[in-house]
Amino acid sequence: MNLPVAIIIIISFVVVAGALTLAGFVWAVRTKQFSIKQLNEGAKLIFDDEEPIGTPQDMIFQKPSNGSANHR
Amino acid sequence: MAAQTTAKEQFVSFASEAVEDVSERQHRVHIDDSVTSPVVLYFATGIAWLVLGSLAGLGAAVKFNLPDWLGGTPFLTFGRIRPVHLNAVMYGWASLAGAGMVVWLTGRLCRVPIQKTWALYVSAILWNIGVLFGVVALLFGYNQGMEWLEFPRPAGGLIALGFLFFAYSIIETFRKRQVEHLYVSMWYILASMLWFPILYVVANLGIYDGVTEAAMNWWFAHNALAVWFTPVGLAGAYYFIPKVIGRPIYSYYLGLLGFWAFALFYNWNGIHHLVGGPLPTWLVTVSIVASVMMFVPVMAVAVNHHLTTIGHFRMLKYSPTLRFVVFGSMSYTAVSFQGSIESLRSFSEVAHFTHYTIGHAHLGVYGFLSMILFGAIYYIMPRIAKWEWPYPKLIKLHFWMSAIGIALYVIAMCTGGWIQGTMMNDPSLPFIASVNATKPYLWARSVGGTMMLIGHLAFAYQFILIIYRSGPTRYVPAWFELRQASGSEESKPV
Amino acid sequence: MMFIRSFIFFLGVLAALVLGWAGLVGLPNIMISEVKPPKGLERYTYEQAYGRSIYIREGCLYCHSQQVRPVGFGADQERFWGRPSVPADYVYDKPHLLGTMRTGPDLFNIGARQSSEEWHMIHLYNPRIVSPGSVMPPFPWLFEEKITAGPDDKVVALPDSVAPKGKVVVVTPEGRALIAYLIGLNHTYPVSQVSASNDSTKKK
């Protein structure tokens, strides 16, 4: 197989793959796979009531104010 | 005193009581409980390989400085301990610690206890036996002859099998998930569950020879980064940065775009390891283009990680996890940009075949991946061992030894490597001149490597303390401490 | 719907990997497998093949490459390391030993540059004897010390400062095989343009 044939094959691959990807993307948008809600809220998935947004975790190096490890 | 006793009573009752309530925290603790033993097994064996691999690495480094050191014994010759180092830290440390982090993350992100934990035990055992067998084989001189694929077939088979059992547990947990949507970290994890077994098995089939095998070799080696090691690191960074800071990731949509761009481009990078080599030009060019296109997903990740962190650098003072993970995410941006530039022919003409490549590789697997894994372990362990890290000073020692060590390593190797390449390309200079010029930088590398080893020993020591619940008794686990400090009503244990 | 979403996800992920393999490995393999061995390239002799396995065993590939870069790319040509290597040169190589480091020089044509068995013996025994400043490891286990050399033994001509007192150092069969392999590394035979397709080479 020489170079021109190889290039034709590669370009066909890319075109087909690209078309399939585009089709998948269009399908996803049409059938509302990606809701605006998910895009806006998705980042909040890792938080919950016990570890809400705004509460930092893992403050091991935090110096307690009265020298005890128990509370600030 | 009275306050301390109360805290102790609270802790003791909290740590020992059965979980019956359905409050969020109880649910999360229940999930954490389900993963404790397998995760500790993964972490412990991973850290053991970290120490062994670091020793092998340091040994290999010193042999550049003192080539005749321990030169009489075949088991310790550079050509054998160098692949021992690579395989021990990649298939041992990075893979096992990564697997432990993935298990814990999967429980948290799918909000369900880990399923089929028996498969995780089988996985850890097979995997470790595979790596051990492979490492011993290498010392005896059994080497398949390809970088990243040195392990003899039986060892590779055990590792592949071990990974399949691990993937089985993760996918079963995914199927039983209690969440409507999956967080971005989970996409990277799920993709790697499918990608890595296929990649590893195909690469070990041994059906190619000649330059095609070289193409396959480097398709594999770079894809191992693309489909296993980098996704693990990114999954960790995407979770721990927003979690520790307490703010959501900057742009979820960018995360989505970044994931698919990552999947598309990274798979085509491999042949940039063979620029100038005996392969068709178009093949090399394709990989160079894909390597440069990596700017797209890397920028998406960089925007997400760095813009989430901006304005909260103060928290680096307090959180060990955040220090390690932010260091890691900054290294990811740096090493990726460096890699894109490195793949260009004009750059590669100088840097290829030199220590520059080694510097780049370590910025990636240590500066990026290992630092994130350290941060993950510092976060996860108190939550599953129900014991706080006893000596914060040791954590600081670990961090600074690792950070300064890798900085020294990368700067030394990249500078020395560039000089080496420039001199190699100057035909008026004898070849030995390029070797001699690198010697001071190779000493600096050994210093950096020693620092990293010291950090690892501190880390391993404290890891042993925490799993045996030794050291100064801390009655207040990390998250519990903060919730008490916040003074809210939720600070009472349920 | 959940299942379809997961299915599409896994399909897309799988496609990314498979397409990458097809483009980087599958397709080149089909093209390169048509390359015929050049007339000047011989198969490895038994001893050379054995020596090649020693090369792999001792990890030589971690410091030495076996690929010569084209004209205008680096100084490979100016250092007389041979003509640019092409895929046809490697048809008998399994595993490939292209290498990615040049802590030491490229070895693809070392047999053409240094065909002295005596030189290689001293060099492998301790590289710094013939190559001051080298960081290459010594390989004393490819040699053994004897009181007197046997009739078929090859003695290593070590300088007095490093030779063991009262003994001679002779090369073992393993050492001889490795040296035979190294001396056999000679790819200076010509190749036709048709079978040449290395990076930066233009086709006619």
C169 three-state secondary structure: strand
Minimal Cβ distance to A46: which of B243, B251, B256: B243
Contact at CB, A21 and C27, closer than 8 angstroms: no
Tens digits of per-residue pLDDT, C84-115?
999 999 999 989 999 999 999 999 999 999 99
- Has residue C12 got a pLDDT over 90? no
Q: Note the pLDDT of residue B473.
A: 61
Tokens of B168: 């089985």
| Helix axes B78-87 and B24-65, enclosed angle (nearest 10) | 170
Of A5-19, B14-28, C73-87, the poorest mean pLDDT is in B14-28
Angle at C203 (CA atoms; ends B209, C73), nearest 5 degrees: 75
Chain C, 18 to 77: residues with Cβ < 8 Å from chain B are 19-21, 23-25, 28-29, 31-33, 56-63, 65, 67, 69-70, 73-75
C contact test, residue of B135, B353, B355 with most C CBs within 10 A: B353
Tokens of C133: 């400043």
The rounded radius of gyration (Å) of the Cα atoms in chain B is 23
ipTM here: 0.92
Task: For chain B, list residues with pLDDT below 70.
Answer: 1-25, 473-494
- Other chains touching B, judged by 3 or more CB pairs under 8 Å: A, C
More confident: C76 or C197: C76
Q: Note the pLDDT of residue B9.
A: 56
B contact test, residue of A58, A62, A65, A72 with most B CBs within 10 A: A58
Distance from CA of C31 to the nearest CA of A (A): 5
Task: Give pTM, 2 decimals.
Answer: 0.89
* A70: confidence class by pLDDT, cuts 50, 70, 90: very low
Tens digits of per-residue pLDDT, B123-176?
999 999 999 999 999 999 999 999 999 999 999 999 999 999 999 999 999 999
Q: Note the pLDDT of residue C27.
A: 87
Distance from CA of A27 to the nearest CA of B (A): 16
- Has residue A25 got a pLDDT over 90? no
Minimal Cβ distance to A43: which of B3, B248, B486: B248
Q: Note the pLDDT of residue B67.
A: 95
The residues that bridge with B114 in the sheet, in sequence order, are: none
Contact at CB, C203 and A28, closer than 8 angstroms: no
- Has residue C178 got a pLDDT over 60? yes
- Where on the phi/psi map is residue B403: left (φ > 0), alpha (ψ -120 to 50), or beta? alpha
Contact at CB, B267 and C16, closer than 8 angstroms: yes
CA distance B300 to B246: 20
Do A41 and B179 contact (CB within 8 A), yes or no? Answer: no
Contact at CB, C8 and A3, closer than 8 angstroms: no
Do C96 and B211 contact (CB within 8 A), yes or no? Answer: yes
Residue C151: asked if its preceding bond is cis (omega within 30°), the reply is no
C171 three-state secondary structure: strand
C146 three-state secondary structure: strand
